[in-house]
Amino acid sequence: MGQRDDAREQDAFEDPAGRLSRRYWSTLAIVALLLVFSQVVVQPPTLRLLTDAPTINVAGRQRMLSQRIAKAGLAMNGAAEEGERARRRDELIRTLALWTESHDRLLRGESSGPVDPRHGVKLRMAFAQIQPFFERMRDTAMSLLVDNRPAALSGLLAAETEYLPRMDRIVGLFEHEAQAHVNRLSRVGWGVTALTLLVLAGIGRFVLKPATDLIGRQVSELRESRDELEKRVRLRTTELQQLNHDLAREVAERVRAEERQRIAVEQFSHVARTTTVGEMASGLAHELNQPLGAIANYTEGCLVALGQPNPELGEIKAVLERILATTLRAGAIVQRIRKFVTRHESNVREPIDPNQLVLEVEEFLRDEVRRRGMPLSLDLARDLPSSWGDSVQIQQVLVNLLRNALDALSVSQSLEPKVVITTRPVANGGVEFQVEDNGEGISQDRLDRVFDAYFSTRAEGMGMGLAISRTIVEAHHGRIRVESEPGVRTTFRFTLPAPDTADDGERQGDRREGGA
């Protein structure tokens, strides 16, 4: 026996939450039973009380209606004028009909009426006793309506005298039953209240107090665990601070490395542009020789004209104007080359007109395209949104892609070589540039490597043009890709995001550098 008690105590100690849970559910079951008891025992009497008051009112109204019947009969019998007698007769008919209907409803106890058929024996006997007088009063009233004789009026008044005290007794019985219902409901309510108080006391003794004790023990254990955890946190914090210091040093080193890489890309980009101009030197010299030769010819003509006895100043002025225009053209060529080659800050960001940028590249390479005999066409979308970035660097990307296309066409066997530069808007508010040629194409095994540094499909190529192009596009938070069908076409596409998107990317980069 002692062993079983020890086992129960051990189980209770090992599973206090389970024990409290069982007590909690038991208490809920008792509360549910009390609610059911309230619905079964308390609610019906309560609903019955709601019907008692209307029943008493109807019974009291029967007394009033019986008096109105007698009063209407007297008024009708004593009326001197025919109109007054007819009005009193109508009043008697209406009152008699309402009085009869209310009496029938009291007897039947219809659901639509206020009477409950489960009234006591005394009330049923009282209705049985009043029934003959009700019928006599109703019949005499009907007789009075038929011939309005004094004998019928006397019978009506006599029946009313017998009817009224019995109706008063019925009203009293209704009130007595209603009071009895109230008393019973009060006793039941006090009983339910007592049971509820007992249940609440049981909850406090067997549920809340053990739960409070359990919570107290758990709080004490949590406090001890908190102290131990704080010790571990302090130790771990020291370790994390050291790790954070090491990480900050690594991040700073990475930022410096990225800055060195950016400077190297800028320098190499400048070298690449200079190399491009060097490769185009013969074409540029030819392009400059044309305006210079024209200037020399115009100047010689002016000198000859001025050597005449009577020089024509109008003709000389026209020639000088042509010399000025040709000089400006030569200066524009030099300025265009200088702008492309001159080094600048690589982090310069400004609004870019995509179509204007393409037109400048086409003008820059126009002589080389004409010299190679490759037709170049432009398909520029209208109403393009502005982009945001370094116009010189984006121009360099287009120059690299266009010269690659010209190189591909120069070794291809295409009967109708062509290069097309296209601009179009994209879904996110940005702009896509596309350079397409129908040259020899790129094989699939080389397609994935075209953007790698030092990889070139041409023997004389350095393999840096496309690598630099990808670096520039990604620095502008864009994307560059290539598609090719060998022997059919090659298409390079790159996108520049909308100014808002580019600004977000710049701010994120600044936050990373600031955090470092």
Tell me if 337 is assigned to some domain: yes
Domain-terminating residue out of 313, 342, 371: 342
Count of beta carbons in the 10 Å neighbourhood of residue 56:
19
Question: What is the predicted pLDDT for the residue at 381?
Answer: 93
Alpha carbons within 13 angstroms on the beta-carbon side of residue 380 total 15
The answer to whether the beta carbons of residues 390 and 476 sit under 8 Å apart is yes
d(CA 136, CA 141): 8
**Beta carbons of 492 and 480 less than 8 angstroms apart:** yes
Using CA of residue 474, residue 476, residue 478, residue 479, what is the dihedral sign?
Answer: negative
Pair of tokens at residue 108: 């039947």
The residues, ordered by sequence, that sit 6+ positions from 354 with a Cβ below 8 Å of its Cβ are 380, 384, 386, 387, 423, 431, 433, 496
Judge whether 211 lies within some domain.
Answer: no
In a domain, 231, yes or no: no
| Same-domain pairing of 430 and 382 | yes
Helix extents (H) in 204-312: 209-279, 281-306
Between CA 226 and CA 246 the distance in angstroms is: 29
Do 18 and 145 have their domain in common? yes
Same domain, 48 and 21: yes
User: Could you tell me if residue 458 is inside a domain?
Assistant: yes
Decide if 223 is inside a domain: no
Please check whether residues 424 and 322 belong to one and the same domain: no
Which residue, 316, 342, 368, sits at the end of a domain? Answer: 342
φ, ψ dihedrals at 340, nearest 5°: -70, -35
Same domain, yes or no: 109 and 178: yes
Tell me whether residue 265 is in a domain: no
Do residue 73 and residue 97 come from a single domain?
Answer: yes
* Segments forming the whole domain that contains residue 321: 280-342
DSSP 410-467: HTS--SS--EEEEEEE-TTS-EEEEEEE-SS---HHHHTTTTSTT--SSTT--S-HHH
Burial of residue 321, with CB atoms counted within 10 A of its CB: 0-12 exposed, 13-18 middle, 19 or more buried = exposed
Are both 460 and 312 inside the same structural domain? Answer: no
Cβ partners under 8 Å of residue 152, min gap 6: 140, 143, 144, 146
Indicate the pTM of the whole model: 0.41
Task: Tell me, yes or no, whether 320 and 463 share the same domain.
Answer: no
Please say which residue of 206, 235, 257 terminates a domain. Answer: 206
Do 161 and 14 meet the contact criterion of CB atoms below 8 Å apart? no
Both 318 and 176 in one domain: the answer is no
User: How high is the pLDDT of residue 1?
Assistant: 52
Report which residue type is found at 202: G
Secondary structure in 3-state letters for 57-71: HHHHHHHHHHHHHHH
Mean pLDDT, the chain cut into blocks of 10 residues (516 residues total): 54 61 74 70 59 66 80 78 82 84 72 47 80 84 78 79 81 76 77 79 76 81 88 89 88 80 61 58 56 72 79 80 75 63 59 91 84 89 88 87 88 84 90 92 84 64 72 89 90 88 53 46
- Structure confidence at residue 516 (pLDDT): 44
Residue 123 resides in a domain: yes
| Whether 316 and 181 share a structural domain | no
> Total domain count for the chain?
3
Whether residue 314 sits in one domain with residue 436: no
pLDDT at 2: 55
Looking at the fold, whether 326 and 436 belong to one and the same domain comes out as: no
User: Could you give the 3-state DSSP secondary structure of residue 378?
Assistant: strand
How far apart are the C-alpha atoms of 160 and 45, rounded to whole Å? 35
pLDDT of residue 293: 66
Q: What CATH number is associated with residue 498? A: 3.30.565.10
Tokens of 304: 């000859």
